Amino acid sequence: MKGTTVEAAVPAPRSQRARLAAPGDEPVDTAITEACRALHLPTIRDHYDDLAAQALRERASYKRFLADLLEAECAHREERRKQRLVRDANFPRPKRLEEFDFDANPNVVPEVVNTLTDPAWVRAGQPLCLLGDSGTGKSHLLIGIGTAIAEAGMRVRYTTAASLVNELAEAADERHLSRTISHYGRGHLLCLDEFGYLELDKAGVKLLFQVFTEREERRAIAIASNAPFSEWRQTFTDPRLCTAIIDRLTFNAYLIETGTDSYRLRTTQERRAAGGTTRRSSR
C-alpha cells in the first residue's frame, strides 16, 4: 500500500505529461470537467482550454499556468459574489452613481458622494440622510450608494419606510416581531426610501423606532426623505418619538441636501420645448 502511494507521488516523465495535458485529449478534458464540478470550480472548467492554449503560446511555466487558472476562478467568484449581494439588497431598479448627473443638480457635491462608496462609514455605523424635494435624485443616490456598498462586500437591504412599517405590523400580529426586527438589525446597511412620505400612527412609529434602536451606532441606516426635519412631526405624529428618531438619524451623520429643483420636471419641460421648436421649424 505504501509503495503505491510513493509511485503515485512521482511526477510522470515530461513527454507523458505533455501527452496528458494536450488540448483536445478527450479523457483529460472529461477528467478536468468532472474534477472542476466536484470542487465547484466553474470558471476553470469553462476556460482552462483557452488558458492552456495561451500558456503554450507564451511558453508559460506550470506555476504561471496554475496561477492564471486560480486568478480567473477567484475573479469570477468575486464578481458573482458582488452580483449576489446586489441582488439580495432588493433594489427596485438598477441605479449607479456613475449615471448620476451632477451637472444637473449642483446641490449634490460629487466629492462628498464618492466618499460614501467607501464602506468605512457603514462599518462605523454612521447614518446617512438624503433630504430634498421629489425628482431631485434622492432615490438614485440612495440606490447608487447602496449598490456600491454591496459591491464592496457588505450586506445591504433596501425597502421603503411604509413597506417596513407594514411588515413590522404584520409580524406583530403574527407574533414574530422580534425575529423580524432582528432580521432588519443584522445587515450592514439598511436603506429606507420614501421616508416621511406618509403619516404614521403612534403604533407604526413605535415599530419603526425599534428597528432604529436595534441598529443604533452598530449598523448603518441611510434614508431618503422629501421633507426637512422641521416637518417630520407631520409624519411621526408622536412628538417624543419623532425627536428620538431625528436624534438617532442625525448623530454623527452624513447629510446631503438635494434641493428643490426637480430634475425630472425640468427634463420633461426641456423635451417638450425642444419638441415644440422642432414642430414649428418644420412647418
Q: pLDDT tens digits for 249-275?
A: 999 999 999 988 777 666 677 677 777
40 and 125 fall within a common domain? no
194 in any annotated domain: yes
136 and 217 fall within a common domain? yes
121 and 220 fall within a common domain? yes
Q: Residue 154 maps to which CATH number?
A: 3.40.50.300
The pairing of strands 189-193 and 156-160 is: parallel
Segment 115-134 shows an average pLDDT of 95
163 and 23 fall within a common domain? no
Distance CA 223, CA 52 (A): 50
8-17, 60-69, 151-160, 266-275: which has the minimum mean pLDDT?
8-17
Domain count, the chain: 2
User: Is the pTM of the predicted complex or chain greater than 0.85?
Assistant: no
6 in any annotated domain: no
Distance CA 151, CA 84 (A): 9
Residue that is written with C-alpha cell 488540448 in the block: 23
Query: Using an 8 Å Cβ cutoff, are 130 and 256 in contact?
Result: yes
Instruction: Sheet containing 128-132: give its strands across.
Output: 156-160, 189-193, 220-225, 128-132, 254-259
Q: Where are the alpha helices (DSSP H) in the chain?
A: 2-9, 14-21, 26-39, 42-58, 62-88, 110-115, 120-123, 138-151, 161-173, 177-186, 202-215, 239-250, 263-281
Domain membership of residue 219 as a residue range: 97-267
Distance CA 240, CA 97 (A): 36
273 in any annotated domain: no
102 and 78 fall within a common domain? no
> pLDDT digit string (tens) for 52-108?
899 889 898 989 989 989 999 898 989 999 999 999 999 999 999 999 999 989 999
64 and 181 fall within a common domain? no
79 and 120 fall within a common domain? no
